[in-house]
Structure 1
Amino acid sequence: MIVAVHGASGTQGSRIARRLRAAGHRIRPLDSRSADLTDTAALLRAYDGADAVVVQLPQVFDPVAVAQAEAVLTALGKADVPRAVFNPGMPLPPAPVGAPFVDARVLLGDRLPERVDRASVVGPAGPYLENLLQPWSVRRLRERGELAYPLPPQAPVPWATLDDLGDVVAAVLADARPPARLVVSGPEPVTGDRLAAAVAAATGLPVGYTQVDPAEYGRLIEPVMGAAAAAGIAGIYAQSAAAPPPPIPDGLLRPGTTTVEEWAARSDWTA
């Protein structure tokens, strides 16, 4: 199939696009240069002739995020794309929460089946392990020996890898009757202490897991992503701590195959 992939050069989209190429699909990469997400006409041109679209919304935290979701929905309906998969990039709450970043994803996930015949929402059960490879995390690791994240060290977390998510997206696109929703996790929930041990074994460095509060995590992010994005991401973690996502219904969970030890061993910790 010809698959148009939003954000195909980004952290999430590039991994999914790689998995789809491995499955034999032709990738049409979409980014801000090829399709303004608030421009329905530009999106229609980007979707023209595609057999499927994989949607990932950018990290936008102001109200334009909702306008982007609405434009994508309108374009998908007008383009008559036969298949679409939406990766929200986060566990979705059951209803809007008043934050545009989250509400745009809730909107797109809820309304996608109205616009596309074979539509699926495939997202992670928890955070991506790849979050730990971002510049602020690697710098903290190499300077202080700390794997810093805003989650408790003893809490079992269903960390997911982007490669495992990409494999599920490829399987969904190949399914004649794809499921409406799937949630991807690792093979088993993992504590922060086990994460630190896996990274220590992979790097040969002494590594400990350190819980930071959302505000401090935002300060770590700010030099790389800017104040607005850092505040937005910190806010999401603060909301998640106050109101954890509901349990995953039976039948929706798809455990991946990549253990944290395998993931850490193959990752680049020098960047």
Structure 2
Amino acid sequence: MLTIAVTGATGAQGGATARAALAAGHRVRALTRRPDSAAADALCELGAEVRHADFDDRASLDAALTGADALFAVTTPFGTDTDTEIRQGRALVDAAAGARLGHVVLTSAAHADRGTGIPHYESKWVIEGHLRASGLPWTVIAPAAFMDNYAGGWTLDGLRTGTFAWPMPSDVPLTLIPAADIGAFAALVLQRRDDFAGHRLDIASDTLTPAQIASALGTAAGRPITHEEVPHAHVRSHSEDLAAMFAYFTGKGLDVDVAGLRRAYPEAGWHTFAEWAAGQDWDALLDG
């Protein structure tokens, strides 16, 4: 049994990893800036130990990581900026090195190692480099596009009108993964350090075109949904970062060996997009 510290434990990836690690029988320290949140309470009820930790407070990181065996690390620029993400990511790696952890699993982004020019991919690549140079045993898992994003935000706003508004042509494939599969794979990597240490793996569960995504969403929701291509200029007016990401998705493409991952790691329980969509409460989401 390992004691696994999980950052971002009240978020999508961290929460999924915490739940998967608990299900596998490990002790979980759920690290969060909001230990009094409903998400933290839910993890506590599952058996996690909730600890306060702030990337900008090194003392809190040191206290939270002391005595842990391993760390699941997630960083994000959203809500701040990429410079802040890099600073916080380096601080987390430095704290892990100070605690002499036996393994750090960092979640990055698929293709972040390929010079994409996407700001929030490039920031993750900088943090990956800091981790590799730290002397810690490390693994980087790099998820493709998140299925979970289709059940919220501006995508959900479009679905309520029967439109899957997405800034890609209808016939260009995109690799996808739900947070649950990221968590399951992260827990597998944490449990099998010797097999994964020193490796970087792009991960995804399915590959679909926007037209196929719209069709699957319509089937799951029980109502007609059609794809409508959103111009990149519209995305750029809101975020240069996201516009660069969708330009990359459309041009070079976000390919990941989904079939190979399913063959090599069946225990991760990979979900197709249709399976993920069928598990959502679309009546509540679309009519709420």
Task: Specify whether residues 251 and 77 from structure 1 end up closer, same or farther in structure 2 by C-alpha distance, changes over 3 A only.
Answer: farther
Q: Is residue 116–residue 122 contact of structure 2 (8 Å, CA) maintained in 1?
A: yes
Residue 182 (str. 1) matches residue 201 (str. 2) = yes
Task: Specify whether residues 167 and 116 from structure 1 end up closer, same or farther in structure 2 by C-alpha distance, changes over 3 A only.
Answer: farther
Mapped to 1, the partners of 2:225 and 2:259 lie a distance apart of 34
**1:254 alignment partner in structure 2:** 261
**2:246 alignment partner in structure 1:** 237
Question: C-alpha deviations, 1:143-177, integer Å up to 9, x for none?
Answer: x2011222222112111122222221111111141
**Does the residue aligned with 1:151 lie in a helix, a strand or coil?**
coil
Mapped to 1, the partners of 2:29 and 2:208 lie a distance apart of 35
**Does the residue aligned with 2:261 lie in a helix, a strand or coil?**
strand
Q: Is residue 146–residue 207 contact of structure 1 (8 Å, CA) maintained in 2?
A: yes
Q: C-alpha displacement at 1:119, in angstroms?
A: 0.9
Residue from 173, 177, 188 that aligns with 1:160: 177
Structure 1, unaligned runs of 5 or more: 220-226
Residue identity opposite 2:201 in structure 1: L
**Does the residue aligned with 2:28 lie in a helix, a strand or coil?**
strand
**1:25 alignment partner in structure 2:** 26
**1:213 alignment partner in structure 2:** 231
Mapped to 1, the partners of 2:193 and 2:118 lie a distance apart of 36
Task: Specify whether residues 65 and 51 from structure 1 end up closer, same or farther in structure 2 by C-alpha distance, changes over 3 A only.
Answer: same
Task: Specify whether residues 181 and 268 from structure 1 end up closer, same or farther in structure 2 by C-alpha distance, changes over 3 A only.
Answer: same
Residue from 68, 75, 87 that aligns with 1:67: 87
Correspondence 1:259-270 to 2 at 5 A: 259-269=272-282, 270=284
Residue identity opposite 1:170 in structure 2: A
Residue 16 (str. 1) matches residue 23 (str. 2) = no
Q: Which deviates further from its counterpart, 233-242 or 126-135?
A: 233-242
Q: C-alpha displacement at 1:114, in angstroms?
A: 3.1
Residue from 148, 163, 169 that aligns with 2:186: 169
Mapped to 1, the partners of 2:135 and 2:70 lie a distance apart of 10
Mapped to 2, the partners of 1:62 and 1:114 lie a distance apart of 20
| Structure 1 length-normalised TM | 0.83
Q: Is residue 168–residue 230 contact of structure 2 (8 Å, CA) maintained in 1?
A: yes
**1:224 alignment partner in structure 2:** none
Q: C-alpha displacement at 1:209, in angstroms?
A: 1.6
Task: Specify whether residues 253 and 182 from structure 1 end up closer, same or farther in structure 2 by C-alpha distance, changes over 3 A only.
Answer: farther
Q: Which deviates further from its counterpart, 106-115 or 154-163?
A: 106-115
Q: Which deviates further from its counterpart, 5-14 or 58-67?
A: 58-67
Q: Is residue 82–residue 116 contact of structure 1 (8 Å, CA) maintained in 2?
A: no
**Does the residue aligned with 2:90 lie in a helix, a strand or coil?**
helix
Question: C-alpha deviations, 1:41-97, integer Å up to 9, x for none?
Answer: 321112111111101102232422221122112111111011110111453133484
Structure 2, unaligned runs of 5 or more: 35-51, 263-268
| Structure 2 length-normalised TM | 0.78
Q: C-alpha displacement at 1:252, in angstroms?
A: 11
Question: Structure 1 vs Structure 2: percent identity of aligned residues?
Answer: 27
Residue 7 (str. 1) matches residue 8 (str. 2) = yes
